[in-house]
């Protein structure tokens, strides 16, 4: 597809932390991306089905209702859209820990 036919991409960020949203706005204001940022609690937000992709990073592990959040993410993407979640695993997080004569899994 030629450059003239490309649809401009937009990044939308959501966080209930006003400071985090402000920081993101400052960072992205120096870049040439089309962005929107909202201070919003995803647990109570009403999501519209309008995104190609919904992404979370190290977020679901902090939620008591991760399945509900995943459902909201699913409802926010267009048909055939993607939901991508990056969540750390304790083995990866503990990979650099060493305690003499102990199994790594016992350190946690």
pLDDT mean over 84-88? 90
pLDDT mean over 40-61? 89
pLDDT mean over 98-102? 76
**Which of 32, 17, 12 shows the shortest CA–CA distance to 77?**
12
Judged against a pLDDT cut of 60, whether residue 47 lies above it is answered with yes
- Predicted confidence at residue 70, as pLDDT, reads 92
Judged against a pLDDT cut of 90, whether residue 63 lies above it is answered with no
- Report the distance separating Cα 106 and Cα 40, nearest Å: 39
More confident residue, 49 or 52: 52
Q: Is the pTM of this model over 0.75?
A: no
User: For residues 104 and 97, is the Cβ–Cβ distance under 8 A?
Assistant: yes
How would you classify the pairing of strands 51-57 and 77-86? parallel
- Report the distance separating Cα 17 and Cα 62, nearest Å: 14
E strand or H helix at 72? helix 66-76
- Predicted confidence at residue 38, as pLDDT, reads 94
CB contact set of 21 (below 8 Å; sequence gap of 6+):
13, 15, 37, 38, 39
- Predicted confidence at residue 85, as pLDDT, reads 94
Q: Give the number of other Cβ atoms within 10 Å of residue 61's Cβ.
A: 12
- Predicted confidence at residue 6, as pLDDT, reads 60
């Amino acid at each position: 597809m030629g450059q003239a036919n490309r649809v401009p991409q937009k990044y939308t960020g959501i966080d209930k932390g006003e400071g985090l949203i402000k920081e993101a706005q400052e960072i992205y204001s120096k870049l040439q991306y089309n962005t929107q940022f909202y201070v919003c609690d995803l647990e109570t937000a009403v999501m519209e089905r309008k995104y190609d992709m919904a992404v979370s990073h190290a977020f679901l592990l902090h939620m008591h209702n991760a399945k509900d959040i995943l459902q909201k993410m699913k409802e926010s993407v267009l048909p055939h859209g993607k939901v991508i979640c990056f969540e750390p695993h304790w083995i990866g997080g503990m990979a650099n820990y060493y305690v003499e004569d102990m199994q790594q899994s016992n350190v946690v």
